[in-house]
Amino acid sequence: MHLNHKKKSKEEIFSVIGLLVVAICWGFGFLGLRYVDGLPTFYVQAIRFGIAALALAAVFFKHLKNVDKELLKAGILIGILMFACYVCATLGIKYTTASRTAFFSTLGAICVPLLNFVIYRIRLTRKSALCVVICVVGVYLISMGGSASLGFNIGDAICLGAAFFSAGQIVTIEKFAKSHDVYALTIIELATISVLGFAGIFVAGEAVPQALTGLELGTLILLGLVCSALCFILQTTAQKHVAANRVALILTVEPVVGAAASVMILHETLGIVGFGRIGQHLGVMAKAIGMNVIAFDIFHIPGIEEQLGIPYVEMDELLAKSDFISVHAPAVDGGALINAERIAKMKDGVCIINTSRGTNVDEAALLDALNSGKVRAAGLDVYADEPASNAALYSHPMVSCTPHIGAATVEAQKRIGAEIVDIITNFGK
C-alpha cells in the first residue's frame, strides 16, 4: 500500500513537471508564431499539426494498433475541441486587444471546474476555488495591468469561447486518458486538427503560399515538433495522474511565460516622442522590464542619456526601430507629429500610444493604418476633438480609449486647485 502511494506521488510530481514544461513551451511558442504571422492562419494550423501527427505516428506507430471505435471517436472529439479553441483565439484577437485575449483565453481555470460540475457533478473544493480566484486575478493584473476597461465586446466573447473549448479538451482528455492508449489518442487528436486546418483553407479561401522562407519552414517544424507533438503528448500523459482542475490552473502559467519571453527574447523597443519628465519616467519603467528604449526630442537634456541609459535618436530612426511608440510632446504647429508619411516609416505591426495632445496624431491616417494592419493597436487618452467625435476610430476593436485622464494624478489635481485659488484671489487686482 505504501509503495503504491509512493509510486503514485512520484508519477503525480513528474506529471506536474511535465505540465509546467507544456506551459513554458506554449508561452515561448507565441514568439514563434510571430515569424509565421504572414502565412494564412488555417495553413499554419494544418502544417504545424500535420508535422506533429506524422512525427508521433513515426515514433509510436505500434500504438496505433490499439485504436478502437471508442478511442477514435474520443481523439476526433478532442481534436475538434482544440481546433475550435485555436479558431476562436485567432478570430478573437482581431476584435479585441492582445491583453484582453490573454485574459479571457485563460479563463479555462474557471471553465474546467464548471464543466466538471455540469457534466460529471464533480464539486470544486474550497482550496481549489481559492487557487482559481488567485490565478484569475493574477492573470488579469499581469495581462491587463489592472486598468483595462471592463466593457465586454464581441472579441472578448470569442476569446471566452476559446477558453470553454480549451476546458472541454482538458475535461475530455481526463475522461479517456486513464483508460486508453495516450499515444494513439494524441496522434488522432493532432491529425484531426491538421485535417480541419486543411478544410479551413478551402472554406476560408486562403491563398496557399507557393514557397516558404527558411525561417518560416524552420518555425513551422519547431512548432510542430516541440509546441505540438511534445507538448500534447506530455499533456495527455500527465492527465492520467493529475486532475483536470489542477491541469487548468497549471496551464495558466502560459500567458505569463509568453509575456516575459516576449520582453526578454524579442527585446521589443519603445520609442518615446517627447523626452520630458513624463517620457523619462516611462523610459525608466520600460527598461526595468527589459525593453530597449530610445527617445526623440528637439531639446536634448545634457547628461540624461548617460544617467538613464536611454539614447536620443532622430525621428526617422525612432520610427524605423520602435515596436511601440508613445507620444509625450506638446502640441506643435505645422500639423500632426504622427501623420501618414511617418506611419509609413514605422515597423509593420507597431503600437501607437498618445497621452499628450490629440492634434499630435492624424486620426484619419491612424484609422487607415489600423484597418490595413500597418498599426496593430493604438491607445488614446486625448483626441483631436473633445468631446471625441471620430466614432470609427474610437470604436475600433484594436483601439483602447481613456477619457483624458492621463494627467489626473493626485499631485496634478492639487496644483490645479492651487491655481484656481490664485486666480480667484487675484481676480480684479
Separation CA 192–CA 421 (nearest Å): 71
Give catalytic status of residue 281 as yes or no: no
Query: Which phi and psi (to 5°) does residue 186 adopt?
Result: -70, -40
- Among residues 60, 59, 76, the alpha carbon closest in space to that of 68 is found at 76
- Among residues 191, 193, 180, the alpha carbon closest in space to that of 56 is found at 191
Class of residue 248 by CB neighbours under 10 A (exposed 0-12, middle 13-18, buried 19+): buried
Give catalytic status of residue 357 as yes or no: yes
Catalytic residue (one of 11, 206, 305, 404): 404
Catalytic residue (one of 48, 342, 357, 376): 357
Separation CA 113–CA 115 (nearest Å): 5
Compute the C-alpha angle 84/88/89, nearest 5°: 115
Place of cell 489600423: 370
Q: Are 161 and 223 in contact (CB under 8 A)?
A: no
Give catalytic status of residue 404 as yes or no: yes
Per DSSP, 159 falls in state H
| Ranges of H-type helices in 309-396 | 315-321, 340-344, 363-372, 391-394
Question: Would you state the cell numbers that stand for residue 139, as one nine-digit string?
Answer: 492573470
Sheet containing 292-296, strands listed edge to edge, beginning at the edge strand earlier in sequence: 292-296, 269-273, 324-327, 350-354, 375-380, 399-401
Q: Are 154 and 88 in contact (CB under 8 A)?
A: no
Catalytic residue (one of 70, 314, 341, 386): 386
Q: Are 331 and 357 in contact (CB under 8 A)?
A: yes
Q: Which residues are catalytic?
A: 357, 386, 404
